[in-house]
Chains A and B, each alone.
Chain A
Amino acid sequence: MSKFEFPKSITSRPVWGTLEVRQGEYHLMIAEAEGAGAILDIATPDLMAKSHLIYIPKGTDYCARLQALNSAQFYEGPSYEASLPRIRRVLEDAHMGLQVYLTGTEGMMGQAMNEVMAVGLPHTAIQTEHRGSVARRMQCVHCKGVTEDVEVDPFVCSHCGLNLFVRDHYSRRLAAYQGVRVDAEDHGNVPEPKGIYE
């Protein structure tokens, strides 16, 4: 499928790349939903023989095609949260030289990137490619709660219930964009929500 072209934005907004095969003894791949397509695009028998592939379908059905790649290890997890203990366990054993491939939504890639950095791997060992939903992971600046998969602007904070507008300001530490009360200066005047890039 075609890739979404994110509009040019401010300097804190992450820029995602395109996966390519790298040399290495061991490869960790995390593909969420349409991210599976990015793995299928680069997969070679040699690469997959040295890869641990984690797939989080989120309603997509790439399982059979990914399994057919015969990766050294394959795991299908029902959600990112459910896969996280496994991801952490794999990273615990990671050696320098591990190559990481993250593909899917911005929220998943941002969070997984933090896990990889937390064990001391260099950011240069991580490749990313955005595929699928352009929904954002949003932090409410007021209550600090994170709302996943936000597709519209403004949106309702799933924790405190305030109507928040979607900023492009992004924190890598939180793996989230910032949401700020949209009607702070005119309580109750909440614009009709529309798609973030509409």
Chain B
Amino acid sequence: MTIQFNDESFRDDYTFHNSDWAIKRFPFPFHEDSYMYSVNMEQHRGGPEGSVYEMRFDVDEHYVSEMKDRAIVLDQDPLRCQSLPHMTLAGWDLLELIMVSKSEDYPELFELHRNGSQWRWINKPLGIDHSFTFMDETTLPYGPMEYITRQAQGDFAVLDQRDEMLWMDAGMVTTQADWSLDFDIGMNFFEWHAPVPKAHEMGIFQRALKFLLNIQQGAPARRLNWTMTVNPLLDTSPENYHKWGIQKTALTPENIANKQHLRVELQTFFRLPRSNALVFPIRCYLCSFQDLMTVPKWGRRLHRVIRDLPVELATYKGFIDNRPMMLDYLSQFDDGLPTSPGVWPDLETEPPLTK
């Protein structure tokens, strides 16, 4: 299918919007009417046709505008992209993985022509046609990780593996849910997750680490994570929190429907062949409450999940103050009917709202 790329913004006038297509394929993260942490990993080997899980690196209608937003963030703060000196090889691995995947999965949008180490990369949506020498940094305008992640949606954490541990040693982080690459770079898996409440005590991180250390080439994995964002703001960074934090207080019963967004991260994990590093793409999808409510099952379920979420989690995810207003809005879409298991919208089979 042909993707119509939106011309939209993720800041200032916030013209971001989802088409009906994008709403139906939104990665709704709740497979049941409640939520608690879990090591919810599964193999990343495709998914239903048209879903965000189908391709290795999903490209959607927001691609071009997201890349423009990333360029703005990097202009303002180059520290959002950093790579410790030993991570350059992993950067080349990542460049190869993304170029190969995108050219195979979206041949009408991306082309990769390889003749030995002489490569030609064509990125039609961004108007790039670039010949370079693989593994020769002087033939690229940026380091290999930065070059390719300026052309790929989502944040990228590149993790070195040594001493039975993962280390956050490189990354491109401009669409993050409130964590700082500049602060966390060089940390190990437990250190950069240190601020997350509860999950340590539940043994979540010990089990997740064990799983991730054993990810093999060609057998990527994935999971979903989620939070809440007021306005479709991609750059919810701690660096800029002193500027955007105040937007959370702009929520009113009148504007909540289109101002409040569910923010979902599709996190994937790929082993890189030369460096043995692990790349951890964190792809952010945003959907307004109003758009989510067009799917009756999601309306019922989101109300129940947000209502029953432990205070600690709502606090950590930063919406404890707005929760009562969210519930006032969401309760209108919960008629108490049961919901079908799983994350899919089930528009054909789930009953319409009876309220």
Give the B-binding residues of A (Cβ under 8 A).
Answer: 10-13, 139, 141-142, 144, 162, 167-174, 178, 180-181, 184-187
Contact = CB atoms under 8 A, between A and B. Distances in A.
Contact of A169 (B183, B185, B240, B321): B183
Contacts of A178: 180, 183, 238
Interface centre among A141, A186, A187 (most CB of B within 10 A): A141
Given A141-B180, A185-B245, A180 B238 contact: yes
A185 B249 contact: yes
B245 A11 contact: no
A168 to B, nearest CB: 8
A141 B241 contact: yes
Interface string B176-212: 0000101111110011111100001000000000000
B79 A144 contact: yes
Given A12-B192, A171-B186, A186 B249 contact: yes
| Secondary structure call for the A interface | loop
B68 interface: no
Nearest to A185: B245
Contact of A141 (B185, B186, B193, B239): B239
B194 A10 contact: yes
A115 to B, nearest CB: 15
A141 B195 CA distance: 15
B191 to A, nearest CB: 4
Contacts of A169: 183, 194-195
B246 A187 contact: yes
A162 B240 CA distance: 12
Contacts of A162: 242
A74 to B, nearest CB: 34
Nearest to A167: B195
A180 B187 CA distance: 19
A171 B246 CA distance: 27
Contacts of A11: 190-191, 193-194, 200
A34 B2 CA distance: 69
Given A12-B192, A185-B245, A185-B249, A172 B239 contact: no
B25 interface: no
Nearest to B84: A173
Contacts of B245: 181, 184-185
Contacts of A170: 191
Nearest to B318: A185
Contacts of A186: 246, 249
Nearest to A163: B242
A187 B242 CA distance: 9
A187 B243 CA distance: 10
B79 A184 contact: no
B192 A184 contact: no
A190 B101 CA distance: 49
A184 B242 contact: yes
Nearest to A187: B246
B248 A185 contact: yes
Contacts of B246: 184-187
A181 B191 CA distance: 22
Contacts of A144: 79, 182
Interface in B232-288: 238-242, 245-246, 248-249
Nearest to B237: A141
Contacts of A141: 180, 183, 238-239, 241
Contact of B183 (A10, A171, A187): A171
A13 B194 contact: yes
Contacts of B192: 12
Contact of B194 (A12, A139, A142, A181): A12
Contact of B241 (A168, A171, A181): A181
Nearest to B242: A181
Given A181-B245, A185-B321, 5 more contacts: A12-B194, A171-B186, A180-B238, A184-B246, A185-B249
A181 B237 CA distance: 12
A16 B187 CA distance: 18
Contacts of A13: 194
23 contacts: A10-B194, A10-B195, A11-B190, A11-B193, A11-B194, A11-B200, A12-B187, A12-B190, A12-B191, A12-B192, A12-B194, A13-B194, A141-B180, A141-B238, A142-B240, A167-B195, A170-B191, A173-B186, A174-B183, A180-B238, A185-B249, A186-B249, A187-B246
B344 to A, nearest CB: 35
Nearest to B186: A173
Contacts of B184: 171
B151 to A, nearest CB: 27
Interface centre among A144, A162, A185 (most CB of B within 10 A): A185
